[in-house]
Structures are given as structure tokens and as C-alpha cells.
Amino acid sequence: MTDFAIDVRGLVKRFGDKTAVDGVDIKMPRGAVWGFLGPNGSGKTTTIRMICGLLRASEGEGTCLDYDIAREAAKIKRETGYMTQKFSFWEDLTIRENLEFVARLYQMRPLRRVVDETLESLGLAHRQGQLAGALSGGWKQRMALAAVSMHSPKLLLLDEPTAGVDPQARRDFWDEIHRLSTDGMTVLVSTHYMDEAERCDRIVYLANGKIVTEGRVEKIIERSALVTFRAEGEGVRAMSEVMKNQPGVEHVAYFGSALHVSGTERALIERAVAGAGRNGVAWQEVRPSLEDAFIALMAEAGADQRVHA
């Protein structure tokens, strides 16, 4: 057994003359929680499907859980839990009936005890008689996590699992992810949320089908070499267009009621901020956020040059 749950090199996926994924390498240690980030259409879902054997790569090679992704897809699927973006269970069955069905697929015995333990561990026991279709988004996602993890897979692949759920449900969901990881499960989770990315051991950022950067959050922020200033209060929205046109200002973004301006040339950014301060707006230098770094990465990646069918 190797030290890596995922070890793939040069993954490429083409659909006709469109290249969805273009030369992706991932080397993910066992027991880690990795975040998979990138804009819509960047290739995250396609990459996940190639890793777990649901989609054959056009080019590339590698292993998942020590199984060859091209020749041993069935073995990979058996030891992997894959939670799709869209709720994919039976809405006209109860939570319990859904879990019983999944348990039968995996030939889990004794079935009743396995389902009981899964319901308890995910806090679903008191709702087990509810129809899945009547659940809120957060409870649907919790049920889906129970279904994909009840056979104790070695690897969990979660594709935007908390999209559209409220902040408390997202927090509870992540508590469960870390509990599973502590028990030895490896987790790769695709997400758009920066606060979720910061809960991961490492993150991989895709754009235009390619990996733009990979590493720990603090290292990615450091690598961006950004100088960032923040302004709050009345009048900052009016400053947005003004700041975009200043020399050295590469990125302007809102964070709640605050405005962040960033660039890589300190002297130019400081000059722009000093000029804006004459309009009664107070600026303060802050540590760049992960979102600041990603805005810079997107600009660096440039327009999508992949051929579209």
C-alpha cells in the first residue's frame, strides 16, 4: 500500500473537440482533507469522475486507492463514496428506506444494525421516517453523506456538497467531514466557498482545465505576493470605479461592507490609496484573504483558451 490515496499524472479529458481537463496531476496523501476549487466549468467534476472510475481519461495514468484508474475502476468504486452536486437519492422513499436500499447494494450485514448506527452517527434517527423529498437542503445533504459513507469507504469525493444550504448546516456538515477524516477516511471536496477551503489541509485550484496552484492556504496567499488595503464605511462603494482606474490597482472586490484593493507593486498601491484617502475614506493595510489570492489567480489564468465544440 502506498502513502497516497490519489496519485494521477497528466489527466486529460476531451469531449469531441472540447478539452475539459488538460494535464492534471494530483498526489494526495491518505487521511487528508483536500479542497478542490475553481470557477464553474474549470474541470473539477470531470477530474473527480476520472479519479473514481466513472469516466475514462483520454490521456494520463495513475492510481486511486492503489488501483489503476483505467483497468480497475470497479474496485475503486467499491471503496469510494461519491456525493454528486445534485441530490441523487429517492425522494419518494424515507430516509431509512434510502439507507436500507444503499446498504443492500453493498451487501452490508446485519442490515438493520448498520442502518441504525448510520442514522445515529449522522443525527438522522429522529427524522428517519420522513420522505427524502420533504427535507430541507441541509438535511438532504446530511442524508446523502450518510448514504455515501455508510459502507466505510477509504475515500470520499464530495462535489460541491454544501451548495445552497444555510451557514449552520454547512458548519455541521464540515464537522462530520472532519470526524470521518479523524477516523481515517481521505476526503477530496469541491467547493466555491472560501471559508470551506480554509478548513482543508491543502487546496488545489483549477482554471480552464489546468491546475493553477496547489498547497496550504497560507502558502498560496504568500505566493500571490499581493499588497492589499481595506476601506469600510459610507462612501466606499463610490470609490470602486475610481480605484479600478488607478495605476497599480490590479483587483478591486467587496467583502461585506468593505472594499479591498490589491496589487503586486507596493509603491503604486500606496500612492493610489493615499490619493483616495483625500476623499475622506480611511484605508488600512490588511493581510490578503484567500479570495483576494483567487481573484489574482483568475486574472493570471486569463481567458479560457480551450476549444469548444
Residues 12 and 136 in one domain: yes
Longest dimension (CA), the chain: 73
CATH label of the domain that carries residue 232: 3.30.70.600
Does the pLDDT of residue 208 top 60, yes or no? yes
Q: Is the pLDDT of residue 307 over 60?
A: no
36 & 157 share domain: yes
pLDDT of 170 strictly over 60: yes
Is residue 128 located within the same domain as residue 265? no
Same domain, 149 and 214: yes
Q: Would 158 be classed as within a structural domain? A: yes
Encode burial over 123-150: b for 16+ CB neighbours within 10 A, e otherwise: ebeebbeeebeebeebbbbbbbbbbbbb
Question: Could you tell me the pTM of the whole model?
Answer: 0.86
Domain end: 191, 220, 249, which one? 220
- Residue 283 domain-assigned (yes or no): yes
Is 257 among the domain residues?
yes
Among residues 165, 192, 220, the one where a domain terminates is 220
Mean pLDDT across 157-162: 92
Q: What is the mean pLDDT of residues 48-73?
A: 96
CATH code of 68's domain: 3.40.50.300
The model's pLDDT over 83-127, given as tens digits with 9 standing for 90+, comes to 998 999 999 999 999 999 999 999 999 999 999 999 999 999 999
Asked whether 128 and 95 are in contact (CB, 8 A), the reply is: yes
Asked if the structure places residue 249 within a domain, the reply is: yes
Peptide bond into 110 cis (omega under 30): yes
pLDDT at 215 over 50: yes
Domain boundary among 220, 247, 267: 220
pLDDT of residue 186: 97
Domain total in the chain: 2
pLDDT in tens, 132-141: 999 999 999 9
Cα dihedral 150/196/167/121 (nearest 10): 20
pLDDT value, residue 6 = 97
Give the pLDDT confidence score for residue 309 in this predicted structure. Answer: 37
Q: Say if residue 214 is in the same domain as residue 267.
A: no
Residues 275 and 148 grouped into a single domain = no
Q: Do 58 and 185 belong to one domain?
A: yes
- Give the chain's mean pLDDT: 91
Handedness of CA 99, 139, 86, 156 (dihedral sign): negative
* Residue 126 falls inside a structural domain: yes
Whether 57 and 194 share a structural domain: yes
Say yes or no: 186 and 122 in one domain: yes
pLDDT at 305: 65
- Between CA 293 and CA 197 the distance in angstroms is 12
Q: Percent of the chain at pLDDT above 70?
A: 96
Neighbours of 95 (CB within 10 A): 28
Return the closest-CA partner of residue 150 out of 185, 178, 189: 185
Q: Per-residue confidence at 185, pLDDT binned at 50, 70, 90? A: very high
51 lies in a domain? yes
The domain in which residue 140 lies consists of 4-220
298 occurs within a structural domain? no
Residues 140 and 178 in one domain: yes
Q: Are residues 64 and 159 in the same domain?
A: yes
Q: pLDDT higher for 301 or 221?
A: 221
On whether residue 306 sits in a domain, the answer given is no
- 89 and 170 assigned to the same domain: yes
242-292 tens-digit pLDDT: 899 999 999 998 887 899 999 999 999 999 999 887 767 789 999 999 988
